[in-house]
Structure 1
């Protein structure tokens, strides 16, 4: 029963964490009425929680494996009591900076669930599970729209204090409903980092999440003001359109995970980045409100689906190091939510428009599409290499001139020759002398006529021992019909045959 509760419990934990994470930015118009905040420092104040909320995801993801999600969530909510109370009684800009720094813990809890929840479900369900958990980022929308309404009635300070009650309630929920028997993984953090930091897939996934989650946050931050200033929409209308963007991106996250469970995740990511590329190019040309809406909705769909697909890929490729990898990837996504809004604001301040920023997004998305295509074909090559290296049959590949270009480990085991000893040589190094020249002429005649040959043949190992092998030779041709390789596969049948091989 407790195990079944972990997905809804941890998802609600994430909702609360994200609600707390954005308290300052949501209530900033009210806070500025009581505390003098220079206009040039507003961006710093709203960015501080995002930075720590991103960086802390690595240790929280790690400790979710070491002590379990229950302890990490309880500790996080208790620690958040202090900055939340501190902010509610703040009287200066420096107070807000200090409190905002530690609010980052609320955003950092994201890496806890994506590390813990895969322990409770089969691999084929991880995309949907992580997608459902990721819907917890709706917490940012809840605070963004609910906190100002409440603050209008009771003031911003008392509104912030309401979060103290929620934090205490959820800490108690985790005390009683958290899983005390969660599987623990206690590999030292530096050992885990050393095991993954050289893997290029870690950094590719980080780039992908930087873009998908970053575009989600960037549009959430910039849309309300842009729609009012550029299209002269009413504030309520702009707010509702932004809310629609958030809802679409949030609810498509589990859809992306669900699709990744059923189809090839890398194919889905190709579609995501092509969509983001096209939408960003459209927005760069400052179209009418209709086309602008279509472009923004495409961004929402791409960001939502992409976020879901990426956290299907992490446990797929990093099963044993999921904690630290989830932490790093989600950290990069958090930073992706930090830099694009600043970049858009800077570009707008210099040029008076957002077009260059949108074109930059399109080019990064297009580059990501190329990387995903490369990853897909690298995976195919890796599978082929694994088959080549792990098969029990000896495999020998030659060029059209008959010089050996590759052999597999089974070849070395069966013949005694290492790859270095036979590369560039003719397969005749294995000849036993039992077959006559006429036998080889007939064999090659059949290969040239039919493209393949199979039969029994006596060969000699490196140590001089003769053995009988069942050999198949195939000619590999290119699209124009020219032979580019000969591939021989063989197995030792010395003790399984009566020795009726052709011996000339």
Structure 2
């Protein structure tokens, strides 16, 4: 029973963590009425919670494996009580920066669930399960939508204090309902880091999450104030529009995970970054509120589906190092939410517009699209190579001149010749001399006319031993129909031939 409750419990934990994480940005229009915040520090104040929320994801993912999700969630909620109370009493920009930094714990707990929950489900459900958990992002929408409404009634300081009650309730829930028997992984942190940091896929996935989750966080903290100052919307209206962006991205995350369970995840990412590129270009032209809404919603769709797809890929490629890999990738995603608001603010202060910032986003998305396409075809080549290497039959590939270009492990096992012995050589080095020149002439005439030949042939191993092969030779042609390679597959049938001969002699 306890195991069945972990998905809803941990998803609810993430909702609460993200609700707390964005308190400052959601209430910034109200806070700025009481605390004077210079324009050049406004972006820093709203983005600062992202720093600790990103960096802490690595140790929290590791600790989730070491101590279990129950302990990490419980301690995280208790620690969050201090910055939340501190912010409710803030009277200066420095207070907001200090308190906001430690609010980052609320965002860091993301890596706890993506590390813990896959332990309870088979691999083919990991995308959907992590997608459901990731839907806890809706916590940012709940705060962005509800906090301004509550603040208009009781003030922003009292609104912040309400979160203290929520944190205490969830600390208690985890104490009583968390899984005390969760499987623990006790591999040292540095050993886990060493086992993954040289893998290029880890850093590609980090880049992809930097964009997808980073843009989700960036738009969450950037939109409320931007919509008020740039389009003159009311504070509550801006909050509701931002909440709509968050809700769309959040609810599409499980869909992204589910689709990644059913289809090729990298192919889905190709579509994701294609949409990103176009949407960012639309935003770069500083459109009216209507087109701006279209571009922003397109970003929300891409971010939601992309987030779900990426956290199908991470445990798939890093099953044994899921904790640290999840921590690194999710950290990069969090940092992706820290830099864009600062960059946009700096660009705006220099140029008076945000166009260059959005154009940069489109270029990064386009570069990611190219990388995903490359990874997609690399994966297909890797599958082909795995099939080639795992075949039980010997395989030999030559160019049209007859020079050997590739052989598989079964070739070496059957002939005794290593890859180094034969690459660049002609297959005649394996001829036994039992076949006449007419035999080979007839064989190649059939290959050139029909594109294929098969039959018995005597060859010799590296040690000089003769053996009988059943050999198939096929022609590989280019799109114009010209031969470019020949592929031979063979098996040793000497024993069958000897058994057949003995049977006839009897």
State TM-score, norm by structure 1.
Answer: 0.94
SS at match of 1:497: helix
Query: Structure 1: which 5+ residue stretches go unaligned?
Result: none
Shift of 1:12: 0.5
2:115 alignment partner in structure 1: 115
Shift of 1:95: 3.9
Shift of 1:184: 1.8
In structure 1, what is the Cα distance between the partners aligned to 2:234 and 2:194?
52
- Answer with 418-427 or 92-101: which moved more: 92-101
2:144 alignment partner in structure 1: 144
Q: 1:225 to 1:67 in 2, by over 3 A?
A: closer
SS at match of 2:397: strand
Residue by residue over 1:216-250, the C-alpha shift from the partner in whole angstroms, topping out at 9 and shown as x without a partner, is: 22223333344344444444433332222121111
In structure 2, what is the Cα distance between the partners aligned to 1:230 and 1:100?
25
2:103 alignment partner in structure 1: 103
Shift of 1:93: 4.2
SS at match of 1:487: strand
1:246 aligns with 2:246: yes
Shift of 1:29: 4.7
- Answer with 294-303 or 152-161: which moved more: 152-161
In structure 2, what is the Cα distance between the partners aligned to 1:147 and 1:44?
21
Shift of 1:164: 2.4
2:135 alignment partner in structure 1: 135
Q: 2:40, 2:345 within 8 Å by CA — same for their partners in 1?
A: no
In structure 2, what is the Cα distance between the partners aligned to 1:465 and 1:154?
93
In structure 1, what is the Cα distance between the partners aligned to 2:159 and 2:20?
11
Q: 2:273, 2:365 within 8 Å by CA — same for their partners in 1?
A: yes
Measured on the aligned residues, the alpha-carbon RMSD in Å equals: 2.0
Shift of 1:147: 2.9
Q: 2:22, 2:143 within 8 Å by CA — same for their partners in 1?
A: yes
In structure 2, what is the Cα distance between the partners aligned to 1:335 and 1:290?
29
Moved over 6 A (4+): none
- Answer with 367-376 or 210-219: which moved more: 210-219
Q: 1:245 to 1:27 in 2, by over 3 A?
A: closer
- Answer with 492-501 or 339-348: which moved more: 492-501
In structure 1, what is the Cα distance between the partners aligned to 2:18 and 2:230?
29
In structure 2, what is the Cα distance between the partners aligned to 1:472 and 1:480?
24
Shift of 1:375: 0.7
Q: 1:173 to 1:318 in 2, by over 3 A?
A: same
Shift of 1:476: 1.2
Q: 1:281 to 1:38 in 2, by over 3 A?
A: closer
2:335 alignment partner in structure 1: 335
Shift of 1:90: 4.2
In structure 2, what is the Cα distance between the partners aligned to 1:29 and 1:267?
41
Q: 2:218, 2:341 within 8 Å by CA — same for their partners in 1?
A: yes
Residue by residue over 1:445-494, the C-alpha shift from the partner in whole angstroms, topping out at 9 and shown as x without a partner, is: 21111111111112111112121121111111111222111111111122
Q: 1:283 to 1:41 in 2, by over 3 A?
A: closer
1:183 alignment partner in structure 2: 183
2:172 alignment partner in structure 1: 172
Q: 1:493 to 1:125 in 2, by over 3 A?
A: same
Shift of 1:401: 1.0
Q: 1:10 to 1:305 in 2, by over 3 A?
A: same
Q: 1:23 to 1:341 in 2, by over 3 A?
A: same
Shift of 1:51: 0.4
Q: 1:224 to 1:153 in 2, by over 3 A?
A: closer
Shift of 1:205: 1.0
In structure 1, what is the Cα distance between the partners aligned to 2:95 and 2:282?
42
Shift of 1:332: 0.8
Query: Structure 2: which 5+ residue stretches go unaligned?
Result: 502-506
In structure 2, what is the Cα distance between the partners aligned to 1:89 and 1:289?
36
2:210 alignment partner in structure 1: 210
- Answer with 226-235 or 61-70: which moved more: 226-235
Q: 2:217, 2:337 within 8 Å by CA — same for their partners in 1?
A: yes
In structure 1, what is the Cα distance between the partners aligned to 2:273 and 2:131?
18
Q: 1:143 to 1:313 in 2, by over 3 A?
A: same
1:396 alignment partner in structure 2: 396
1:25 alignment partner in structure 2: 25
1:461-472 matches, within 5 Å, as 461-472=461-472
1:387 aligns with 2:387: yes
**How many residues are aligned here?**
501
Shift of 1:370: 1.0
In structure 2, what is the Cα distance between the partners aligned to 1:45 and 1:5?
37
In structure 2, what is the Cα distance between the partners aligned to 1:162 and 1:245?
24
1:276 aligns with 2:276: yes
Q: 1:275 to 1:191 in 2, by over 3 A?
A: same
In structure 1, what is the Cα distance between the partners aligned to 2:297 and 2:29?
28
1:298 alignment partner in structure 2: 298
- Answer with 31-40 or 208-217: which moved more: 31-40
Shift of 1:155: 4.2
2:376 alignment partner in structure 1: 376
Shift of 1:38: 4.5
SS at match of 2:203: helix
SS at match of 1:488: strand
1:483 alignment partner in structure 2: 483
- Answer with 100-109 or 27-36: which moved more: 27-36
SS at match of 2:163: helix
Q: 2:43, 2:341 within 8 Å by CA — same for their partners in 1?
A: no
2:60 alignment partner in structure 1: 60
In structure 2, what is the Cα distance between the partners aligned to 1:411 and 1:273?
42
